[in-house]
A = this chain, B = another copy of it.
Amino acid sequence: MSEAHPSADGLQSRRRRLEGLGTAELVELFGRLDSAERAVQFRLLQKDRAVAVFEDLDPRVQREVVDSLREEATTELFAALDPDDRAPLLDELPAGVAARLLEDLSPDERAQTMALLGYPEDSAGRRMSPQVLTLDEDTTVASALDRVRHAPESVETIYVLPVTGPRRRVHGVVSLRRLLVSDPEARVADLMVPAATVRATDSSEDAANVVRDGGYVAVPVVDTEDRLLGVLTVDDAMRVLEAADDEDAARVGGTEPLRRPYLSAPVLSVVRSRIVWLFVLILAATLTVGVQSYFEAELDAVVALALFIPLLIGTGGNAGSQAATTIVRSMAVGDVRTADVWRVLGRELLTGALLGFSLAAVGIAPAAWVAGWDIAAVLALTVVGVCSLATTVGACIPLVARRIGIDPAIVSAPFISTFVDTTGLVLYFSIAKLILGI
């Protein structure tokens, strides 16, 4: 009855068919399906319907639905799908189902199963610990402590305990420390504090920043309806941030992250992490050859112009790198968001102009002494223009990249240098033509 590799068409038509059925009909249908088909059809349901259906299922069938989602055959079936086909299939799984699905799995099994959950890669949902000890609001301190004492080893942390109400909704958290110093007869509801929570679909880096900025031991991870799915603990948050910083640092420097310690990485994999970008950059740099060919007459007429090319484009590249570095890092720690693009643009234009004027003011006399006042004037104007251009472009490209969904660190400092090289040359020769009348 079930197809081994359902096509996207088959899925779409099945989805439409399911949408035509009422909850009672669906409950009845799920009682009859075989294991793999049950998993597929359940994941085809939109979330609110999945909640309703799951809650109406016979507990035995509920168990079977969860089991079918766990089975290796199901995982393989999902893995074989084209990612685009898989996406519509994976609306967020209801919290009750997700929590049961993830219970008692080994880390390996969990990683496998995560692919079924509908949380994007690098999301908080993929990094959370689903084994979590929750307390009811009406629990007394004494019985809460008793539950802590009998928590299985697999429960990740007992130092921060989410307090949940009906349907696993998170109402607050209480720390073990608070429990220990409180009256054994007190109600947990009177001791809890409002919880900082993160969504399972949030990026794991954003979630880790919440943990770090708040100085928390763990933060509850919830679904879109604030129902508890798990916790993100501080040690996992630190690992997420380390990996993110590794990646940012590598990409800002124009390489792919090695993902292993440098000295243990084979030289060929180091080469591989760098060659693509180096090649892209040299290809981009061929534009500079074109620009110089175009201005060959001017270059021949005033050979002295050539002397300052490396200095000018180097300065532009450096100014651009500085701006890009600042903005990429500010985005990583959450200080700057894509909506700030116009403010950043204004600030960087001003910053670049001020940097350019400062350099020009200091450098114009020595330049005049070496190459004469007319070339010094060309250089001074070019420095102001190149610095303004470089800081603005260097700061805005990462923001634009983020908005269109590219890792801002990829649009790295060397990339910006190469861009500035080309435009800087055009600016230089254009100003020279104008001032020197060549």
A3-11, A73-81, A175-183 - the one binding chain B: A175-183
CA distance A322 to B412 in the complex (A): 11
Given A274-B355, A319-B274, decide whether A310 and B285 contact each other with a Cβ distance below 8 A: yes
Q: Which B residues touch A299, using CB under 8 A? A: 303, 306
Q: How far is the CB of A296 from chain B (nearest CB, A)?
A: 7
CA distance A281 to B319 in the complex (A): 10
Q: Which B residues touch A289, using CB under 8 A? A: 307-308, 310-311, 370
Q: How far is the CB of A419 from chain B (nearest CB, A)?
A: 11
A94: CB under 8 A from chain B? no
Interface residue SS majority, chain A: helix
Q: How far is the CB of A18 from chain B (nearest CB, A)?
A: 44
CA distance A309 to B303 in the complex (A): 14
Q: Are A326 and B253 in contact (CB under 8 A)?
A: yes
Q: Are A350 and B282 in contact (CB under 8 A)?
A: no
Contact with B along A148-186 (1 / 0, CB 8 A): 110000000011000000000000000011001100000
Q: Are A314 and B288 in contact (CB under 8 A)?
A: yes
Closest to A253 in B: B325
CA distance A247 to B332 in the complex (A): 13
Q: Are A270 and B310 in contact (CB under 8 A)?
A: no
A414: CB under 8 A from chain B? yes
Contact with B along A283-310 (1 / 0, CB 8 A): 0011011001100100110010011111
Can you list the 6 inter-chain pairs with the closest CB atoms, starting with the nearest?
A: A253-B325, A215-B235, A288-B310, A261-B335, A262-B330, A285-B311
Copies of this chain present in the complex amount to 2
Q: Which B residues touch A328, using CB under 8 A? A: 249
Beyond contacts A158-B180, A250-B325, A267-B351: 7 other A-B pairs, Cβ-Cβ < 8 A, are A237-B238, A242-B333, A262-B344, A282-B318, A310-B425, A314-B421, A318-B417
A116: CB under 8 A from chain B? no
Contact with B along A327-365 (1 / 0, CB 8 A): 111100101100010011001001100110011001100
A220: CB under 8 A from chain B? no
Q: How far is the CB of A434 from chain B (nearest CB, A)?
A: 21
Closest to A290 in B: B307
A92: CB under 8 A from chain B? no
CA distance A397 to B277 in the complex (A): 22
Q: Which B residues touch A285, using CB under 8 A? A: 310-311, 314-315
